[in-house]
Structure 1
Amino acid sequence: MSAPSPTPDPDATPRVHTLSNGVRVVCDPMPGLQTVALSVVAGRGARYEDEARSGWSHLLEHMVFKGAGGRSARGIVEVIEAEGGHINAATGYERTSFQVRALKHGLDLGSSVIADLVLRPAMDAGDLTREKQVVAQEIAEAADAPDDLVFELAQEAAFAGQPLGRPILGTTASIGRATPETLTDWRAALYAPESLVVSAAGAVDEDELLRFAERDFGHAEGPSLPPPEPAHFEAGVRPVAKKLEQANVVLLLPAVGVLDPDYFTLRLLAEILGGGMASRLFQEAREKRGLAYAIDAYSETYADTGVLGVFAGCAATDAEELARVTAGEIGELTKPVGEAELARAKAQLKGSMFMGREGALARAEQAAGQVLLFGRTLHPDIVAREVDSVTAEDIARLVEWILRERKSAVAVLGPKPALRAAPVFEASLFGMAAIGFSPTY
Structure 2
Amino acid sequence: MTLASLHTLSNGVRVVCDPVPGLETAALSVVAGRGARVEDAGRSGWSHLLEHMVFKGAGGRSAQEIVEAVEGQGGQINAATGYERTSFQARTLAGGLDLASAVIADLVQRPTLDAGDLVREIQVVGQEIAEAADTPDDIVFEMAQEAAFEDQPLGRSILGTDASIGRATPQALAEWRAALYAPDALVVAASGAVDEDELLRLAERDFGEAAGAPAPPALGAAFTGGRRTAAKSLEQANLVFLLPTVGVRDPDYFALRLYAEILGGGMASRLFQEAREKRGLAYAVDAYAETYSDVGALGVFAGCAAKDAAELAKVAAGEIAAMADGVTEAELARAKAQLKAAMFMARESTLARAEQAAGQVLLFGRPLSPAEIAEQIDSVGAADLARIGAAVLEPRRAALSALGPKGALKAPDAFERALFG
* TM-score normalised by structure 1 residue count: 0.95
Determine the structure 2 residue equivalent to 1:68.
Answer: 58
CA distance in 2, matches of 1:336, 1:422: 25
Partner amino acid, structure 2, of 1:371: V
Between the two proteins, what is the percent identity of the paired residues?
A: 72
Q: Helix, strand or coil for the counterpart of 1:313? A: strand
CA distance in 1, matches of 2:66, 2:365: 32
Q: Does 1:387 align with 2:387?
A: no
CA distance in 1, matches of 2:192, 2:4: 12
Determine the structure 2 residue equivalent to 1:106.
Answer: 96
Map residues 175-214 of structure 1 onto 2, 5 A cutoff: 175-214=165-204
Partner amino acid, structure 1, of 2:137: D
Partner amino acid, structure 2, of 1:274: G
In the TM superposition, what is the alpha-carbon distance from 1:398 to its structure 2 partner?
1.0
CA distance in 2, matches of 1:403, 1:147: 26
Determine the structure 2 residue equivalent to 1:324.
Answer: 314
Q: Does 1:421 align with 2:411?
A: yes
Is the 1:157–1:236 Cα contact (8 Å) retained in structure 2? Answer: yes
Is the 2:56–2:112 Cα contact (8 Å) retained in structure 1? Answer: yes
Q: Post-superposition, which runs of at least 4 consecutive aligned residues in structure 1 deviate over 3 A?
A: none
Q: Helix, strand or coil for the counterpart of 1:26? A: strand
Determine the structure 2 residue equivalent to 1:343.
Answer: 333
Determine the structure 2 residue equivalent to 1:34.
Answer: 24
Determine the structure 2 residue equivalent to 1:286.
Answer: 276
Determine the structure 2 residue equivalent to 1:164.
Answer: 154
Cα distance per residue 1:61-113 (max 9 Å; x no partner): 00000000000000000000000000000000000000000000100000000
In the TM superposition, what is the alpha-carbon distance from 1:393 to its structure 2 partner?
1.1
CA distance in 1, matches of 2:218, 2:417: 33
In the TM superposition, what is the alpha-carbon distance from 1:163 to its structure 2 partner?
0.1
In the TM superposition, what is the alpha-carbon distance from 1:226 to its structure 2 partner?
2.5
Determine the structure 2 residue equivalent to 1:139.
Answer: 129
CA distance in 2, matches of 1:56, 1:106: 31
Determine the structure 1 residue equivalent to 2:237.
Answer: 247
In the TM superposition, what is the alpha-carbon distance from 1:13 to its structure 2 partner?
2.4
Cα distance per residue 1:213-251 (max 9 Å; x no partner): 000000010002232111000110111100000000001
Q: Does 1:297 align with 2:287?
A: yes
Q: Helix, strand or coil for the counterpart of 1:249? A: strand
Query: Runs of 5+ in structure 1 lacking a partner?
Result: 1-10, 432-441
CA distance in 2, matches of 1:138, 1:195: 27
Determine the structure 2 residue equivalent to 1:398.
Answer: 388
CA distance in 1, matches of 2:193, 2:69: 20
Q: Helix, strand or coil for the counterpart of 1:285? A: helix
CA distance in 2, matches of 1:51, 1:184: 18
Q: In angstroms, what is the RMSD of aligned CA positions?
A: 0.7
Partner amino acid, structure 2, of 1:401: A
Q: Does 1:151 align with 2:141?
A: yes
In the TM superposition, what is the alpha-carbon distance from 1:173 to its structure 2 partner?
0.2
Is the 1:12–1:379 Cα contact (8 Å) retained in structure 2? Answer: no
Partner amino acid, structure 2, of 1:285: A
Determine the structure 2 residue equivalent to 1:435.
Answer: none
In the TM superposition, what is the alpha-carbon distance from 1:338 to its structure 2 partner?
0.7
CA distance in 2, matches of 1:383, 1:164: 27
Give the alignment partner of residue 25 of structure 1, picking from 15, 23, 28: 15
Partner amino acid, structure 2, of 1:158: A
Number of equivalenced pairs = 421
Query: Runs of 5+ in structure 2 lacking a partner?
Result: none
Determine the structure 2 residue equivalent to 1:436.
Answer: none
Is the 2:178–2:214 Cα contact (8 Å) retained in structure 1? Answer: no
CA distance in 2, matches of 1:414, 1:336: 34
Q: Does 1:376 align with 2:373?
A: no
In the TM superposition, what is the alpha-carbon distance from 1:45 to its structure 2 partner?
0.2
Q: Helix, strand or coil for the counterpart of 1:170? A: coil
CA distance in 2, matches of 1:229, 1:423: 31
In the TM superposition, what is the alpha-carbon distance from 1:14 to its structure 2 partner?
1.4
Map residues 217-228 of structure 1 onto 2, 5 A cutoff: 217-228=207-218
In the TM superposition, what is the alpha-carbon distance from 1:397 to its structure 2 partner?
1.1
CA distance in 2, matches of 1:356, 1:324: 35
Determine the structure 1 residue equivalent to 2:206.
Answer: 216
Cα distance per residue 1:294-351 (max 9 Å; x no partner): 0010001100000000100000000000000000000001112111111001000110
CA distance in 2, matches of 1:363, 1:401: 32
Determine the structure 2 residue equivalent to 1:128.
Answer: 118
Partner amino acid, structure 1, of 2:60: G
CA distance in 1, matches of 2:349, 2:66: 24
Q: Helix, strand or coil for the counterpart of 1:259? A: coil
